[in-house]
């Protein structure tokens, strides 16, 4: 009986007022539906269907001027109530915490999301009608309370996830498109940071809604929380991001500090975005940059190639910020930097590393470190020499990414540190000649374009070695064409001899 009486009240036709229910009656109807949503009956299929049917009917039967009518106080109250309904619908469609990996825990979430999305489309349709009426500015108040919960719902379900289906993704995508349309925004970024000076955007509102679930105890209870946070964060760039730094930095650090590699990488990507889009002065304030550095640096001890790649890219963009505070006086030795510390560690890891994916991740970023340090790379020359020789000896698969990056590193090393490289001429020359011979004799493992690139890069290194050794390479290679039968090797040596002629007297 109680259930029947509750279901009778929300219906707009029960109002005695012509044209629909009064604001009070309409508010009571939404309040009762909201109350039913929090009751246990929503867990049963029949109860859930009844609530959605009643809510959909109430929205459809209510004219837009009834949803946004009255004085400022009543409009605000009705809008807040609609916002609470939107939040309840969003919570209802969130995926549950998944215990022990991805299994059947997400079954039914996509169906719920589809039902919720259809209701949101009806609500946004009413907002759009009110907006187009030209006489009802109160729709802005309603949209203010609806936009945040609806946005979170749409981002949660609009891309492929374990809890979504093609149908739920389609509906959520339509919800997001309509939300941008009624907000007069041409993009998600404009919706978040505002598209003009008078529009503050809704990024702060979204972060405020996410904040209660972005703490150490709760952030894993809803698997969509990290996705919505990270995706939203990446949409906002300079110059808007720095004003929200206190809201976005702690959750990013929290996610990066997780034990799961997937979450570590996600957190590092968020931190990298912050480094790229927040002014250096803001990151240096309160020692934030140092906190970032130590949090990211600790991940270098994890042998996961994807994580290492994300960490090194982030650190390379963080170094210029950290080193803004370093001042060098010409009468003292240059201070060691964070870049020195990181390069020393990765060279220590590179030397004995045998896993190809990790070797590629390290080698891929090594040239950037040499460029960053320049002449100061001499501090690491001995270990770099061992790494370069060791990596040039090992076949790296058809694409030869690691060996190509090591050759690029060697070229930069010779260019920046040539006075100290000439004394290592014989060791480096042997390693390069061995590489050239191995590539030339490789019958079929490496594609011809890759072989050509390898031989060209090795030839460039030999030419640079010859320049910095004042023509010694040319002399050491002079007799090889007379005894070598391999055409590719001979061709490589001839290029060195021709390019070196008359150029070595100036050093580099």
* pLDDT of 15: 39
How crowded is residue 326: how many other Cβ atoms within 10 Å of its Cβ?
A: 11
**What angle is formed at CA 110 by the lines to CA 39 and CA 37, rounded to 5 degrees?**
15
| Cβ burial, residue 425 (10 Å; 0-12/13-18/19+) | middle
Q: Is 356 exposed, middle or buried (0-12, 13-18, 19+ CB in 10 A)?
A: middle
pLDDT of residue 7: 44
3-state secondary structure of 98: coil
Please enumerate, as own/partner, the contacts of 501-507 that have beta carbons within 8 Å and a separation of 24 or more: 501/474, 503/467, 504/466, 504/467, 504/469, 504/470, 504/471, 504/474, 505/470, 505/471, 506/467, 507/418, 507/467, 507/468, 507/470
Q: How many CB atoms lie within 10 A of CB 234?
A: 14
Token pair for 106: 């997400």
Per-residue pLDDT at 134: 57
Torsion 94-97-103-107 (CA) sign: negative
The DSSP code for 74 is H
Q: Tokens 């996961």 correspond to what residue?
A: 304
Predicted confidence at residue 135, as pLDDT, reads 57
Check: CB of residue 267 under 8 Å from CB of residue 286.
Answer: no
pLDDT at 11: 47
SS3 163: coil
Residue 87: phi and psi, rounded to 5, are: -65, -40
Whole-number pLDDT of residue 376 = 93
Contact assessment for residue 227 and residue 161, using Cβ atoms and an 8 Å cutoff:
yes
According to DSSP, residue 490 is labeled: H
Neighbour-count burial of 449, counting CB atoms closer than 10 A to its CB (0-12 exposed, 13-18 middle, 19+ buried)? exposed
Query: CA 468 → CA 417, 423, 472, 480, 491, distances in Å?
Result: 9, 10, 9, 21, 22
Spatial separation of the C-alpha atoms in residues 47 and 488, rounded to whole Å: 78
Q: Rounded to whole angstroms, how far apart are CA atoms 359 and 353?
A: 7
**Distances, alpha carbon 179 to alpha carbons 81, 86, 146, 288, 440, in Å:** 19, 13, 9, 36, 60
Q: Are 209 and 153 in contact (CB under 8 A)?
A: no
Half-sphere exposure (Cβ direction) of 364: Cα atoms closer than 13 Å = 18
3 state DSSP class of 343: helix
Residue 243 neighbours by CB under 8 Å, 6+ apart: none
CB-CB contact of 64 with 141 (8 Å): no
Cα gap 42→115, rounded to integer Å: 13
**For 491, which DSSP code?**
H
pLDDT of residue 230: 96
pLDDT of residue 75: 55
Q: H helices of 38-108, where? A: 45-61, 64-67, 72-92
The predicted pLDDT at position 5 comes to 41
Tokens of 186: 């041409």
Q: Is the C-alpha dihedral spanning 340, 346, 350, 356 positive or negative? A: negative
Please give the model's pTM, rounded to 2 decimal places.
0.88
Determine the pLDDT at residue 108.
Answer: 86
Q: How far apart are CA 162 and CA 96, in angstroms?
A: 11
Torsion of CA 426, 431, 435, 441, to 10 degrees: 70
pLDDT at position 9 is 47
pLDDT in tens, the chain (508 residues): 344 443 444 444 443 334 455 667 777 777 777 777 666 445 555 566 677 777 878 877 777 767 766 545 455 577 788 888 889 889 888 888 766 444 456 878 899 899 999 999 999 988 888 888 755 567 788 888 899 999 999 999 999 999 999 999 999 999 999 999 999 899 999 999 988 777 788 999 999 999 999 999 889 888 899 999 999 999 999 999 999 999 999 999 999 999 999 999 999 999 999 999 999 999 999 999 999 999 999 999 999 999 999 999 999 999 999 988 766 655 567 788 999 999 999 999 999 999 999 999 999 999 999 999 999 999 999 999 999 999 999 998 889 999 999 999 999 999 999 989 888 899 999 999 999 988 988 877 789 999 999 999 999 999 999 998 888 888 888 777 767 767 788 888 888 888 754 443 333 3
Task: Please report where in the chains the tokens 């007379």 appear, as a residue.
Answer: 482
Distance CA 36, CA 38 (A): 5
């Amino acid at each position: 009986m109680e259930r029947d009486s509750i279901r009778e009240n929300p219906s707009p036709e029960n109002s005695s007022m012509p044209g629909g229910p009064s604001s009070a009656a309409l508010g009571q109807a939404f309040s009762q539906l909201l109350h039913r949503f929090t009751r246990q009956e929503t867990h049963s299929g029949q109860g859930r269907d009844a609530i959605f049917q009643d809510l959909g009917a109430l929205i459809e039967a209510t004219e837009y001027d009834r949803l946004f009518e009255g004085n400022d106080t009543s409009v605000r109250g009705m809008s807040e109530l609609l916002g609470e309904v939107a939040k309840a619908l969003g919570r209802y469609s969130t995926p549950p915490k998944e215990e022990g990996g991805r299994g059947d825990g997400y079954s039914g979430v996509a169906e719920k999301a589809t039902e919720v999305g259809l209701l949101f489309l009806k609500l946004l349709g009413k907002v759009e009608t009110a907006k187009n009426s030209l006489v009802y500015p109160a729709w802005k108040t309603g949209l203010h309370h609806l936009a945040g919960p609806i946005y979170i719902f749409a981002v949660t379900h609009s891309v492929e996830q374990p809890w979504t289906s093609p149908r739920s993704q389609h509906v959520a995508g339509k919800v997001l498109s309509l939300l941008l349309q009624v907000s007069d925004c041409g993009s998600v970024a404009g919706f978040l940071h505002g598209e003009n000076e008078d529009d503050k955007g809704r990024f702060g509102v979204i972060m405020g809604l996410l904040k209660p679930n972005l703490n150490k105890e709760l952030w894993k209870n809803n698997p969509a929380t990290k996705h919505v946070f990270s995706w939203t964060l990446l949409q906002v760039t300079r110059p808007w991001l720095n004003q929200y730094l206190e809201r976005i930095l702690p959750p990013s650090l929290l996610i990066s500090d997780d034990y799961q590699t997937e979450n570590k990488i996600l957190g590092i990507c968020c931190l990298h975005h912050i480094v790229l889009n927040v002014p250096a002065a803001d990151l240096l304030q309160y020692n934030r940059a140092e906190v970032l550095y130590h949090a990211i640096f600790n991940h270098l001890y994890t042998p996961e190639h994807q994580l290492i790649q994300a960490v090194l890219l982030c650190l390379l963009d963080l170094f210029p910020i950290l080193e803004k505070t370093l001042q060098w006086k010409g009468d003292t030795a240059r201070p060691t930097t964070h870049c020195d510390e990181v390069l020393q560690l990765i060279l220590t890891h590179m030397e004995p590393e045998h896993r190809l994916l990790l070797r590629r991740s390290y080698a891929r970023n090594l040239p950037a470190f040499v460029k960053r340090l320049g002449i100061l790379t001499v501090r690491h020359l001995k270990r770099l020499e061992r790494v370069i020789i060791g990596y040039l000896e090992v076949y790296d698969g058809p694409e030869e990414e690691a060996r190509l990056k090591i050759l690029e590193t060697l070229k930069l090393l010779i260019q920046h540190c040539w006075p100290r490289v000439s004394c290592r001429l014989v060791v480096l020359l042997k390693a390069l000649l061995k590489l050239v011979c191995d590539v030339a004799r490789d019958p079929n493992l490496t594609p011809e374009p890759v072989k050509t690139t390898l031989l060209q890069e090795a030839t460039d290194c030999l030419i640079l070695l010859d320049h910095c050794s004042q023509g010694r390479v040319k002399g050491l290679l002079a007799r090889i064409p007379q005894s070598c039968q391999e055409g590719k090797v001979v061709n490589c040596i001839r290029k060195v001899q021709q390019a070196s002629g008359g150029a070595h007297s100036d050093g580099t």
